[in-house]
Amino acid sequence: MNALSALFKQGFAHGVHPAENKERTQELPIQRMPFVDRYVIPLHQNLGAPAKAMVVPGQRVQRGECIAEPGAFVSTALHSPVTGWVRSIGPQRFVDGRFAQAIEITADPYSTQRLAPKPPIDWAALSMDAFIGEIQQAGIVGLGGAAFPAHVKLSLPEGQRIRHLLINGAECEPFLTNDHRLMLERPETLIRGIEIMRQKLGAEEATIGVELNKRDAIEVLQQHLRGDLPIRVVPLRVKYPQGAEKMLIKSIYNKEVPSGLLPRDLEILVNNVGTVVAIADYFDLGMPLIERVVTVSGPGVAYPANLIVPLGTPVREVLRFCGGLKEETREVLMGGPMMGAPIASLDAPMLKGSSGLLAFTAQETARPKETPCIRCGRCVEACPYFLNPSRLARLAKARLFDEMKAYQVMECVECGSCTFSCPSGIPIVQLIRTAKDNLRQGKRRAD
């Protein structure tokens, strides 16, 4: 049995196989979106505490200038995506329809919007604490969608070490191809970022996990790897949610992360492809996280694309650059179709965690008629975390949220495999998500 066959036999249990729908954009090179007139930078763009504004209305800011400092350790800085003027600081409409504090910036129409050149940062000479501080000040978060502050992952408890650095290039969400294009177009930068992290962590080796529907990316990465680098590329079976941390670890190392523990407890650190590229760009070019690659796709958009989008760009402007929405469009999602969320307003801004914009017509957004659960067990067979989604959904409908904790509801990562597989059309993951939000709010009130 060859190594690839052994890997496939190993894999992870359960999961689903939604249609990939990547053909619209997988061959499209990354292009830069033109700058627009107005940008909105929400102060809360990461898991953890929001940032604190450091500017005032009327102040002129330069592209890449820090405009908000971290509000706590689990928080990151924010930087201006353009040269211009601070127009206001106050509530702005967010993706989910709620209002949140944000810095609004008007771009200078006469500026070239070039980032001022900065000398490379000597990362090798930094202490680990200083290295972590630099990444926090750069505003870098996980760019796979979770937006977890990158510096927090690097902050290890006393006595812990990382032996394996795992780079997530699976990109298992349908439609999304931004990581795929990054691996194809910027392999040197990705490998550079991996080596920066590996050496600072003292990891023995690094592994890039890439699904087999990206064979060209696997070949390009292997071509750019020098023989003296302890970095390998591992092809992965195409299955959702292959890109989830625990599933990736199971597929590559055949290890399970026990409930309540983190990958670092197994001496493994997982980072997304885009996050690693952002780290390299910061230390080599001095560029903080002020833009990201976004896939714009779906049947409802005129011209699909992979775009470099400045953070804070209104969704409306991104879609306009892609030819606008077709008349039959009924819904726009931010993120992928499995874990993304519908956008309440096209005036909402693009965020650090915005991996995609998907425009769907009535055909894709049609909700199946919900019928009673038939106890078929398909959701149980689909759940990669071995939960009982149908039981959790029944408890959520009965608002028995506290009872759900006994069935490990907080272990759910909301991948949506249960809803996808349910023949009764029950919105299982949405019910679970609501229950988890209710439990978190109750905990905050108790604290």
Task: Dig out the tokens for 17 from the structure.
Answer: 């196989």
Q: Quick one: pLDDT at residue 10? A: 65
What is the widest separation between alpha-carbon atoms in the chain? 67
CB 79 within 8 A of CB 288: yes
- What is 1-34+119-366's CATH superfamily? NADH-ubiquinone oxidoreductase 51kDa subunit (3.40.50.11540)
Q: Is 383 annotated as a binding residue?
A: yes
**Is the link from the previous residue into 241 a cis peptide, with omega within 30 of 0?**
yes
With H, G, I as helix, E, B as strand and everything else as coil, classify residue 285: helix
Residue ranges per structural domain of the chain: 1-34+119-366, 378-446
Q: In what order do the strands lie in the sheet with 164-169?
A: 231-236, 205-211, 164-169, 268-272
Q: Quick one: pLDDT at residue 3? A: 52
Q: Quick one: pLDDT at residue 145? A: 78
Q: Is 172 annotated as a binding residue?
A: no
Interval 75-115: pLDDT, tens: 999 999 999 999 999 999 988 888 999 999 999 999 999 99
Q: Is 322 annotated as a binding residue?
A: no
Q: Quick one: pLDDT at residue 9? A: 52
CB 403 within 8 A of CB 395: yes
pTM for the structure as a whole: 0.94
Q: Is 379 annotated as a binding residue?
A: yes
Q: Quick one: pLDDT at residue 443? A: 74
Distance of CA 41 to the CA centre of its chain: 18
Q: Quick one: pLDDT at residue 250? A: 96
CB 292 within 8 A of CB 308: yes
Q: Quick one: pLDDT at residue 1? A: 43
Q: Are strands 329-334 and 356-361 parallel, antiparallel or unpaired?
A: antiparallel
Residue among 307, 301, 354 at smallest CA distance from 331: 301
Low-confidence ranges of the chain (pLDDT < 70): 1-10, 447
